[in-house]
Amino acid sequence: MVQNSLRNMATGTEATHDVARETDTASASWTMQTAAFARRTLRATLRSRATLIWGFGFPAFWYVLTSVAFLPGAEAVGGAGNLAAVKASTAVALGLFGALTVTLVLFASGLGRDVGEKRYRKLRSLPVAPSADFAGRYLAGLSVAASSYVLVLILGYFDGARYALQSPVSVLVVVGSLALFSLIGVSLAVLVTVLVSDAEMIVGITNAVLLVTYFLTGYNGLMPGLLPDRARFLVNVAPNALAARLQVWHLTDVPATTPEGAASTGLAPPALPIGPEYVALLLAWALALGAAAAVAMDRGIYRGEGGE
């Protein structure tokens, strides 16, 4: 029989189904499943023209446009050193805008296609842990988001931006806040996908969230003066602005370290979120939204029938 011969070719044994499955069950672990979803999402995302255009091209273009057309001259901010820091903070804010584009819009678009094209009918039939699906997609989203973020920072560097760490802990804060912010983006993407399901609506809603949060927080917290006085506290609370302002403090130099400096670059008031309580606030956002997304993935897509 063909099948018998195929089995023997592949396994070299006449082992029963039960023995084969027992052996393989241990190896088909959560880690393998997570890595499988991460590789799949990473490849599909990087091979999408939308990723190249919107995830990498658009944030870079926006940085260049901002630098050329909108940033003040060195005299207006108190010297060339301050301008270098302003450019750095602009790069950080637009780098995080790119990270959110990837983790929210592009991630939701990919998940929405899986849901809309009924691929979860197959995935639900597999012994897959929903948490492995979520974790794998998150790791892929984080990788692409980090690449987009670093690209804008490098572009800023060649444009004259200068970065400086406040302390060795700043490395942890910058990397950690990028990871947490990416988790927030991916979690929002999952929640929107589960609630809406329709692929076109998903792209529309996530784009709206991306742009509205950017503009309503004064360009990710760079220009709180654009908000009414009573709403300015939002730049140290909303996760996009909070992450950006945390990173501006830990990744750029001088102006923000004094009230006068921060004011001269438009970053204050309110004061930059430099205390540990603000890191905890970002962590709380990420954990709350991450937990909600994990539950939504489990109940809405796996135990439910998202997209049907």
Half-sphere exposure of residue 34, counting CA atoms within 13 Å on the CB side?
9
Half-sphere exposure of residue 185, counting CA atoms within 13 Å on the CB side?
35
**Whole-Å CA distances, 92 to 41, 51, 80, 85, 129:** 25, 19, 18, 10, 35
Which of these, 279, 145, 134, lies nearest to 210 by C-alpha position?
Answer: 145
| Residue 111 in contact with another protein, rule: CB under 8 A | no
Q: Rounded distance, CA 101 to CA 103, Å?
A: 6
Exactly one of 79, 124, 146, 237 binds another protein (CB under 8 A); that residue is 124
Quote the least distance from Cβ 194 to another protein, whole Å: 16
Nearer to another protein, 32 or 76 (CB): 32
Q: Which two tokens stand for residue 164?
A: 């400086």
Exactly one of 65, 75, 76, 121 binds another protein (CB under 8 A); that residue is 121
| Residue 299 in contact with another protein, rule: CB under 8 A | no
Q: Which two tokens stand for residue 214?
A: 């950017």
Size of the site for another protein (CB under 8 A): 42
Nearer to another protein, 36 or 227 (CB): 36
DSSP codes joined into one string, 62-78:
HHHHIIIIISPPTGGGT
Instruction: Report residue 214 CA to chain centroid gap.
Output: 14
Bridge partners (DSSP) listed for residue 163: 252
Quote the least distance from Cβ 270 to another protein, whole Å: 44
Exactly one of 117, 211, 215, 259 binds another protein (CB under 8 A); that residue is 117
Quote the least distance from Cβ 127 to another protein, whole Å: 4
Q: How many CB atoms lie within 10 A of CB 212?
A: 10
Per-residue contact flags (x/-) with another protein for residues 16 to 45, judged by CB under 8 A? -x--xx--xx-xx---xx-xx--xx--xx-
**Whole-Å CA distances, 242 to 149, 206, 219, 290:** 16, 19, 11, 17
Q: Which two tokens stand for residue 209?
A: 């969230």
| Residue 12 in contact with another protein, rule: CB under 8 A | no
| Residue 162 in contact with another protein, rule: CB under 8 A | no
Quote the least distance from Cβ 19 to another protein, whole Å: 10
Select from 2-10, 67-75, 85-93, 286-294 the region that touches another protein (CB under 8 A): 2-10
Exactly one of 52, 61, 65, 122 binds another protein (CB under 8 A); that residue is 122
Which residues lie near another protein (CB under 8 A)? 1-4, 6-7, 9-11, 17, 20-21, 24-25, 27-28, 32-33, 35-36, 39-40, 43-44, 47-48, 117-128, 303-305, 308
